[in-house]
Amino acid sequence: MKVLVTGGAGFIGSHTVERLLTAGHEVTVLDDLSTGSRANLATVEHDVELLVGDIADPAAVTRAAAGCEVVVHLAAVASVEASVRDPLRTNRTNLTGTISVFDAAARAGARRVVYASSAAVYGEATDLPIREDAVKRPMSPYAIDKLAGEYYLAHFQRSGAFSGTAFRFFNVYGPRQDPSSPYSGVISVFLDRAKRGKGVTIYGDGSQTRDFVYVKDLVDVLLLAVHERPGHGPGAAQDGTPAEAGPTAINLASGGSVDLLTLVATVAEAAGLQEPMAVEFGPARQGDITRSHADVTALRGRFGQVPSTALTDGLAATFRSLS
């Protein structure tokens, strides 16, 4: 099977590409290399067709999607802060680019699209753990774009263009997450600081919680979605007819929760530090949420499994991967 992975040279994308190749699929990657890197694909570079291009460029996406049966759409400007600072630029990638990918997939005759949405669509949740039917309160342009992408996915599915699966990613971490990137997750930054014997800065008081999911667990689920039979996407009827309801998406998370001060201590343990890491506090950032904890009942029911790597194990593996 031929699969297109947008953002396939990035952190999550490169792990996805490797797993698809291991499963015997032919893979095309479309990435503008703004945050992704050829180095992330170094071990598989001879087995992958890498096209350097912009997902908001219809010609580039049409070329990349040609002949593909499945599209895994991961490309995004994955930064709340960047979207607040420059909503027009991030909207071009995160929404216009997403529509371009969905349209190209439909025109190419792809049978399935897997879309990376975000837990950011929930905003400040009032009930924890967060269920998929919770009220959506997007607090940033990034979150708004991701939620709009879910609606567009539902539109293409209702039209019969393809079967779609949307996942709301919570806080993903693991090897290849670049700590020097302005879009990097907190774990990669904390681990890098631990490796260099430095302290960390927490924006807020440190009581804010996150649901962290190890990248290899996340990719396990993406592969299950790639192989899912048509007609079983979110909102699809059991007989495979196009869905009539609005967008639905599935939480992709561990189903656990940890506050950032506890995370700092766990990072220090994973790094083998003998002394606690120094912590400085900065003002909370616009668009950041204070509490995040996913309900993964729907994920377990749909795919028969949930991410299971313990945070301590995932942190240790990620620390070992640092160069």
Nearest partner of 101 among 50, 156, 140, 143, judged by Cα? 156
Provide the strand spans (E) within 91-232.
Answer: 112-118, 163-169, 171-173, 200-203, 209-210, 212-214
Q: Which residue has the tokens 């028969």?
A: 304
> What span, in angstroms and rounded, lies between the C-alpha atoms of 234 and 133?
13
> What span, in angstroms and rounded, lies between the C-alpha atoms of 236 and 118?
21
Residue from 115, 122, 142, 152 carrying the catalytic annotation: 142
Q: Is the peptide bond before 129 cis (omega within 30 degrees of 0)?
A: yes
| 142 a catalytic residue | yes
> What span, in angstroms and rounded, lies between the C-alpha atoms of 267 and 281?
17
> What span, in angstroms and rounded, lies between the C-alpha atoms of 213 and 299?
13
Q: Which residue has the tokens 């297109």?
A: 4
Residue length of the chain: 323
Q: For the chain, how far is it from start to end, CA to CA, in angstroms?
A: 34
In this structure, the number of other CB atoms found within 10 A of the CB of residue 46 comes to 6
CB 208 within 8 A of CB 291: yes
SS3 per residue for 138-177: CCCHHHHHHHHHHHHHHHHHHCCCCEEEEEEECEEECCCC
Question: To which H or E segment does residue 59 belong?
Answer: helix 58-65
List, by residue number, the catalytic residues.
142
